[in-house]
Amino acid sequence: MKKSDVGVVVFVYAICLFFYIFLQELPPEAQTYPLCLISGLFILNTLFLVLNLIKLKKTGMENDLHSVFEGFLKSQFFTVLAACVIYILGVYYIGFYITSIAYLILIMSFLKVPLKNSVLTVFVLGLVIYFVFTMFLKVPLPVGIVFE
């Protein structure tokens, strides 16, 4: 087990707790899907913790804190962070579908993902989101205040 794994496990449990608390504000019929996602994340995190505890017993604690951010690209991180903030504003103003497609194309271009993979990802993800959320779950996605 690595020292950095401890922080990751605690952080993921905190995320689960944070979303579970806000989940209580939703009507009971709207809690099922988010509760499944939170439960899945909780279970996977617990499995990760158990496997690392087994590894800890065998090999001991590895101190990797000196190399955790080795190779960290500040410009890449802050560009993607800024794009996420712009994405949230874009969903509010111009809607989910248009903003999501533009975000995916721009981020994958910035991260130099091959064009074939980018086109395939945008197409498949667009179809999956449309069929799962719009057709199957009938979740109304934001259309944006520009198109209301």
22-55: b (≥16 Cβ within 10 Å) or e = eeeeeeeeeeeeeeeebeeebeebeeebeebeee
pLDDT of residue 120: 95
Q: What is the pLDDT, as a whole number, of residue 144?
A: 86
Helix 74-94 × helix 96-110 angle, to 10°: 160
Q: What pLDDT score does 81 carry?
A: 95
Token representation of residue 13? 């449990």
Mean of the pLDDT values across residues 119-126?
A: 93
Find tokens 């401890």 and name the residue.
Answer: 6
Q: What average pLDDT does the segment 15-34 reach?
A: 91
Enter the tokens of residue 61: 């604690």
Please answer whether residues 6 and 49 qualify as being in contact, where contact means their C-beta atoms are separated by less than 8 angstroms.
no
Where residue 109 falls among pLDDT bands split at 50, 70, 90?
very high
Q: Give CA angle at 59 (57, 64), nearest 5°.
A: 115
- In this prediction, residue 4 carries a pLDDT of 86
Residue 40 structure tokens: 């899945």
Close Cβ partners of 144 (under 8 Å, ≥ 6 residues apart) = 90, 91, 92, 93, 94, 95, 96, 98, 99
Taking only the tens place, the pLDDT of each residue in 78-98 is 999 999 999 999 999 999 999
